[in-house]
Structure 1
Amino acid sequence: MLQVPSSEAAPLKLRVGCLELFTAFCSVGLSGFGGVLPWARRMLVEQRRWLTDEEFTNIVSLCQFLPGPNITSVSICVGARFAGLRGAIAAVSGILFVPVIIVILLAMLYDAYGHIGPVQDAFRGVSSAAAGLIVAMAIKMAYPLHRSIHAMVFMACAIAAVLVLKLPLIWILLTLVPPSIAASWIMRR
């Protein structure tokens, strides 16, 4: 059985400074790159308790619509929430600082050694691990929604549209977002 940590254990932190935002997101950037959303969720919801499960899911859902990497948009939203424009700049700087340096170094190494078989095998292994982390994060993010029938219906429709019908994401969003918002609005009334 999947164990999901309770986010009701301690009160949420309401005030976060720019330095704390920078170092927190910098630690997420150090944890991995090319798929750090699971680490960001763990840091924001479970460790630092800056957001609830539902707030994190809502922020990630919003950031799906924004251009660029989701984690960058999440860092901007979280930074702005706690410290305004300066917080947004601090958080996005923190999330990007280490990965930019790592990518530059890896590009130099790959240019020199990328043609070697074991190096290519290592890259395939890393991509498999990243896929597993994304699936695990999706399960954790979906867990708070398991009691909401309408959320589960829309989630099932979206998964079916992607996996079975192989529809483009833009058409899935344009089709499912308006009725999803309407259903959520009706359910809250």
Structure 2
Amino acid sequence: MISPSADADHARPQPQSLTDLFISFTLLALQGFGGVLAVVQRELVEKKRWLTREEFVEEWAVAQIMPGPNVVNLSLMIGHRYFGFRGAMAALAGMLAVPLVVVLLLALVYAQFAHYPQVAGALRGMGAVAAGLIAATGLKLMGALKTHPLGTPICTALAALCFAGIALLRLPLVYVLLGLGVVACTLTYRRLAP
């Protein structure tokens, strides 16, 4: 993870309190039906500016390899960055408390209307929209690869191999992650070594 200098941290906007963290992550979670990557990137990088694009890409990469939901991992890391353990718990509560109530209410409603074909069609349509949001966010974040030690072409090739392994060849995620992750880490280490 990038640790910005103390001067850069003070110049950059940051959450003002634990309540600010809680409310910010609650609003993020409530916007993210079907996937919050696009929403999280827009809110934390572009609107709030709590992270730079490069920091977001690095934090997101770490959040993805940790067990559990990616955005929950990211909320813990960001909360801890600004307020330590208490910040991590406030961000986690924001990600889970209100959305849990909403999901429970939606589950009750879904149980009443699940047998209607229109409901199944609506859910399939929402899945397509979520996939589009994730693809658009990935394209938007590609600019951050310009500063990566491997450069855009190698990173793009690794992403294409990952897509081919998971989507086309249907390889288990753990094998693709371990295989390409070791290759990417080794190549990056060699580029960074003096």
TM-score by length of 1: 0.86
Q: Structure 1 unaligned runs (5+)?
A: 1-10
Q: What secondary structure sits across from 2:140 in the alignment?
A: helix
Residues 17 and 82, structure 1, Cα contact 8 Å, conserved in 2: no
Q: Is 1:82 matched up with 2:86? A: no
Equivalent residue in structure 1 for 2:162, among 143, 158, 161: 158
Matched residue type, 2:113: Y
Q: What is the distance in 1 between the residues matched to 2:131 and 2:156?
A: 22
Q: What secondary structure sits across from 2:13 in the alignment?
A: coil
Equivalent residue in structure 2 for 1:179, among 151, 173, 183: 183
Residues 34 and 126, structure 2, Cα contact 8 Å, conserved in 1: no
Q: Is 1:91 matched up with 2:91? A: yes
Q: What secondary structure sits across from 2:34 in the alignment?
A: coil
Structure 2 residue aligned with 1:23: 23
Residues 53 and 141, structure 2, Cα contact 8 Å, conserved in 1: yes
Structure 1 residue aligned with 2:112: 112
Q: Structure 2 unaligned runs (5+)?
A: 1-10
Report how far residue 176 of structure 1 moved.
1.6
- 1:1-189 matches, within 5 Å, as 12-14=12-14, 16-146=16-146, 148=151, 149-189=153-193
Distance 1:178 1:132, change over 3 A: same
Deviation per CA, 1:139-187, whole angstroms, max 9, x where unpaired?
1223311561332332232223223433221111221212211221222
Deviation per CA, 1:74-99, whole angstroms, max 9, x where unpaired?
10111111111110111111111222
Report how far residue 117 of structure 1 moved.
2.4
Matched residue type, 1:98: V
Deviation per CA, 1:40-92, whole angstroms, max 9, x where unpaired?
11111000000011111111111111112111111011111111111011111
- Counting matched residue pairs gives 179
Q: What is the distance in 2 between the residues matched to 1:46 and 1:118?
A: 36
Report how far residue 134 of structure 1 moved.
1.2
Q: What is the distance in 2 between the residues matched to 1:73 and 1:139?
A: 22
Q: What is the distance in 2 between the residues matched to 1:65 and 1:144?
A: 19
Structure 2 residue aligned with 1:7: none
Q: What is the distance in 2 between the residues matched to 1:174 and 1:117?
A: 40
Structure 1 stretch displaced more, 73-82 or 112-121: 112-121
Report how far residue 14 of structure 1 moved.
4.8
Q: Percent of counterpart pairs with the same letter?
A: 37
Structure 1 residue aligned with 2:7: none
Structure 2 residue aligned with 1:4: none
